[in-house]
Amino acid sequence: MKTAEYSPGLEGIIAGTTTISHVNPERNSLMYRGYDIKDLVQNSTFEEVAYLMIRGHLPNQGEYDAFCSQLKQERSIPQTIIETFKTLPAKSNPMDMLKVGVALLALSDPDKDDDSHEANVRKAIRLVAKFPALITYSYRISRGQEIVQPDASLGHGENFLYMLLGKKPDSYISHVFDSSLICYVDHGFNASTFAARVTVSTLSDIYSGTLSAIGALKGPLHGGANEEAMKMLLEVGSPENAEAWVLDALATKKKIMGFGHREYKTGDPRAAILTEMGAEISEKLGDARWYKTASVVEATMNREKQILPNVDFPTSYIYYLMGLPIEIYTPIFALARIAGWTSHMIEQLDNNRLIRPKALYEGPQHVEYVARDRR
């Protein structure tokens, strides 16, 4: 018999405390260490937000410059990892390749045997810095392309785009991409973050926790939703088809990706920010097809089900307009979320208690054992 303590999916269950991010459904807001996501997107950079997450406060100019310099110095990855990427099957899943890269990276970290707070901070910074190379090198190699070396003159987000696409993005594209990364940095005890915290709560290391997080993020109900949302929009095809497509999907109980969120009932604030950017980038690039299609899908879902989009819906067509491969959308999520994951793991290890919940047993009781020859 089920008890009152049981909540499917742990919905509503408080599993710990944090000072890192706060999702407030009543106010429809998201804060990183007390700063509203809207203010950070409007005024900050990904590097500044990553510093805030890892160090616990916004940097002054000297701290910011030193942090950006440190990220640039740590961008390279060992040649052994690059050679390993070359041995993997062609067109391997980018998230699986990222797992391989992170696992190998752990072996060469100079702080791998040091579990102190400052050593974990250094590991976090290295992971943030090296994720662009891990993602772009593995992707380009698996697609038969030459890797693109990082450019020290470029910031974190624009350097990633350069290493992925082989050309330097303009300042506007870089700004929109940076804004999307800020929106993806953290979100409370989401599935991947919680997986990371559970792993390090055993006193395992930050690299192991990162692997757990990547595995959780890969799923289409978490990080993979942005990829599935764009595939859905491509299937819809045009604004003219959108309403009928949604109505048919609802009638046949087909999953409509990029909508709804367990935490937000009146709209995801990140989606609101990026939907506005989606309209703007569509106008600037002279291609409103996907924004208009998405708008009809959104309006129909709101009218029929009162369900609003989450952050994955606008990022899907924003990234598509930027010319980013759909299969790289989830690794981009990881590119941003690594700053949040590592911050949570540091916080967990600084005041650790093994995370070990109970399970409600619903199986048979006191079954008599029968010898094998009598079964």
Q: Which residues pair with 222 in a beta bridge?
A: none
Nearest to 241 by CA among 297, 288, 287, 286: 297
Catalytic residue among 186, 187, 312, 344: 312
Catalytic residue among 156, 261, 268, 344: 261
- Listed in sequence order, the DSSP H helices in the chain are 37-43, 46-55, 61-73, 79-87, 94-108, 117-142, 156-165, 171-184, 191-200, 206-217, 225-236, 239-251, 269-285, 289-305, 312-321, 329-350
The pair of three-digit structure tokens given for residue 146, joined into one six-digit string? 């030459």
The pair of three-digit structure tokens given for residue 186, joined into one six-digit string? 């953290």
Q: Does the annotation mark 175 as catalytic?
A: no
State the amino acid at position 89 in one-letter form: P
Q: Does the annotation mark 156 as catalytic?
A: no
DSSP H/E element including 128: helix 117-142
Helix or strand or coil: residue 148? coil
Rounded Cα distance, 365 and 361, in Å = 10
Rounded Cα distance, 125 and 169, in Å = 24
Rounded Cα distance, 245 and 31, in Å = 35
Helix axes 269-285, 289-305, angle to 10 degrees: 150
Catalytic positions, written as ranges: 261, 312
